[in-house]
Amino acid sequence: MAKLKVLVAGGGIGGITSVLALRKRGIEVQLFEQAAAFGMVGAGIQVSSNAAKILLKLGLGQALKEVATYPDGRDYRGWDTAERLYYTPLGQKAEAHFGSPYYAAHRAELLDVLLSGLGQHGFKLGSRIERVDQDDNGVSLTLTDGSKHHGDILIGGDGIHSTVRAQLFGKELPRFTGNVAWRGLVPAERVAHLNLGNLVNVWMGPNRSIVSYYVSAGKIYNWIGISRTKTEPARESWLAEGKIEDALAEYHGWNPIIRTIISETPRVLKQALYDREPLPEWQVNRIVLLGDAAHPMLPFYAQGGAQSIEDAYVLAGCIADGQDKPIEALARFVKLRLPRTAWMQGLARREEELYQTNDEAAIKARNERMRSNRIPETATFPPEQERLYGYNAEVELKKSA
Ligand SMILES: Cc1cc2nc3c(=O)[nH]c(=O)nc-3n(C[C@H](O)[C@H](O)[C@H](O)COP(=O)(O)OP(=O)(O)OC[C@H]3O[C@@H](n4cnc5c(N)ncnc54)[C@H](O)[C@@H]3O)c2cc1C
């Protein structure tokens, strides 16, 4: 059997995990990242059980455990009184139920965990891909420095503004979702008196919400506020330093816990949020998309990164199984992954409405409905969490073999 070489565009969560998963299956792979160094925005990220299951398989379990936190549960709370409205278990209950832990981490630390598996070779930094080409025999990518690199398959893991996607399917811009994210990291000692618990706290209010949890082995408290806005930002994407006063103004009238967390934040970042309608196709012959390049989604289910990790693992399995038929291997991957991620994209949009509705009757109905599942000892996993966190990439691969 001829030995395949895979090229990966983009060194984000999806791109790096692709390299790790392909190498594990003995496939040669080379990654190209435009930045001069691997990096991730300073903020928290939930690593849900479905994603953690894969990172464990890739041998990163211990490294992840050392830096991450292991929340006991998720509390859904009211924006004004801070009342617990709903509770879903995490911690040992989730680990036993889904077969893998649910973590929360600082993004830089998650990146370090991934890079610990990557080592010092197999990637080129400072390598911006300008174009990709293919014929019956293989693929090539051209960097902005003019150099050309050849392989058998190309994976476009180059994020929401993907060059590969634009070239394959046209330059249609992502959709501004009408939401802006505020992100802050607070030294844990500054919020210790708030007794926030070892929980993922979801605070739901009209037109805005906040999700907050400990990261960095409990040393830092992370919060992500999302608020609706009528003004679309001038540029398609931006990630800028925000002002604490503006964040406080955004959460004016909210309970003192939230206002204290924001006031104690040394620095906030502000980011416009985009997504897309599910794409009908991710593949053109030997080139395929994954992660945000294929299915960007709102962060309400904390799943964009997790879905990139699932993609990477399933794709590596398909490529390894179909080395003599690369086009069919990529088609199998798309068939396995597109329906799940399209479902997720829709779910994340619906969750935006659930968390941030401004309609008084809808808020009352939501709260009444939620109150039925708020006792930690008896709380159950809702059906969408069963489907999300219970996903087992290995089983899905076997089923489709
Ligand atoms: C506020 C917020 C909170 C979130 N919270 C969570 C969470 O808790 N859990 C979770 O799982 N997900 C979360 N996400 C989603 C998650 O961050 C993304 O889905 C994930 O980072 C996507 O990974 P990716 O590798 O597909 O793309 P990216 O992380 O965007 O990586 C793409 C890479 O490609 C590179 N690149 C781009 N163009 C080129 C080019 N032409 N040539 C070479 N390189 C290129 C970029 O520099 C980048 O390194 C959140 C997102 C937001 C906005």
Helix or strand (DSSP H, E) at 62: helix 61-67
In testing the pocket of ligand 1, which one of 308, 345, 385 has its CB within 8 Å of the most ligand atoms?
A: 308
Q: How many whole angstroms separate alpha carbon 155 and alpha carbon 43?
A: 26
- In the chain, % of residues over pLDDT 70: 98
Q: Provide the terminal-to-terminal Cα distance of the chain, rounded to the nearest Å.
A: 19
Count helices and strands in the chain by DSSP H and E runs: 13, 19
* CB neighbours of residue 93 within 10 Å: 18
Q: Is 13 in the pocket of ligand 1 (CB under 6 A)?
A: yes
pLDDT in tens, 132-143: 999 999 999 999
**DSSP reduced 3-state for 11:** coil
Query: 135, 117, 150: which is closest to 30 by C-alpha?
Result: 150
Query: 165, 180, 103: which is closest to 292 by C-alpha?
Result: 165
Buried b (16+ CB within 10 A) or exposed e, 28-55: ebbbbbbeeebebeebbbbbbbbbbbbb
pLDDT in tens, 71-108: 999 999 999 999 999 999 999 999 999 999 999 999 99
* CB neighbours of residue 99 within 10 Å: 15
84 — alpha (psi -120 to 50), left (phi > 0) or beta?
beta
Q: Is 33 in the pocket of ligand 1 (CB under 6 A)?
A: yes
Which CATH code for domain 5-173+276-399?
Answer: 3.50.50.60
The per-residue pLDDT for 109 is 95
Helix or strand (DSSP H, E) at 181: strand 175-187
Residue 172 pLDDT class (50, 70, 90 cuts): confident
The per-residue pLDDT for 236 is 44
The separation between CA 179 and the C-alpha centre of its own chain, rounded to angstroms, equals 17
Mean predicted confidence (pLDDT) in 313-324: 97
**What distance in angstroms lies between residue 12's CA and the mean position of ligand 1's atoms?**
6
pLDDT in tens, 192-245: 999 999 999 999 999 999 999 999 999 999 999 999 998 776 554 456 788 999
In this structure, what is the dihedral angle of CA atoms 157, 159, 163, 168, given to the nearest 10 degrees? Answer: 60
pLDDT in tens, 20-72: 999 999 999 999 999 999 988 879 999 999 999 999 999 999 999 999 999 99
**What distance in angstroms lies between residue 57's CA and the mean position of ligand 1's atoms?**
22
Active site residues: 213
Q: Is 46 in the pocket of ligand 1 (CB under 6 A)?
A: yes
Q: Which residue minimizes the CA distance to atom 17 of ligand 1?
A: 305
Q: Which residue minimizes the CA distance to atom 38 of ligand 1?
A: 158
The per-residue pLDDT for 40 is 81
Taking a C-beta distance cutoff of 8 angstroms, is the pair 344, 85 a contact? no
Mean predicted confidence (pLDDT) in 330-336: 98
* CB neighbours of residue 242 within 10 Å: 21
Taking a C-beta distance cutoff of 8 angstroms, is the pair 157, 308 a contact? yes
* Atom in ligand 1 nearest the alpha carbon of residue 290: 26
CB proximity list for 27: less than 8 A, separation 6 or greater:
4, 6, 316, 319, 320, 323
The least confident of 171-180, 243-252, 351-360 is 171-180
The per-residue pLDDT for 2 is 63
Q: Is 89 in the pocket of ligand 1 (CB under 6 A)?
A: no
**DSSP reduced 3-state for 110:** helix
List Cα–Cα distances, 43 to 26, 27, 88, 179, 269, in angstroms: 33, 33, 23, 18, 9
CB proximity list for 239: less than 8 A, separation 6 or greater:
41, 269, 270, 271
Q: Is 224 in the pocket of ligand 1 (CB under 6 A)?
A: yes
Residue 316 pLDDT class (50, 70, 90 cuts): very high
Q: Is 311 in the pocket of ligand 1 (CB under 6 A)?
A: no
**Across the chain, what does the average pLDDT equal?**
95
Six-digit token string for 142: 């051209």
Q: What is this structure's pTM?
A: 0.97
List Cα–Cα distances, 24 to 21, 28, 120, 147, 312, in angstroms: 5, 10, 16, 28, 12
Looking at this protein, which amino acid is placed at residue 247?
A
Q: Which residue minimizes the CA distance to atom 31 of ligand 1?
A: 12
Q: How many whole angstroms separate alpha carbon 294 and alpha carbon 311?
A: 10
Dihedrals φ, ψ of 97, to 5°? -75, -45
Q: How many whole angstroms separate alpha carbon 98 and alpha carbon 90?
A: 10
The per-residue pLDDT for 227 is 96
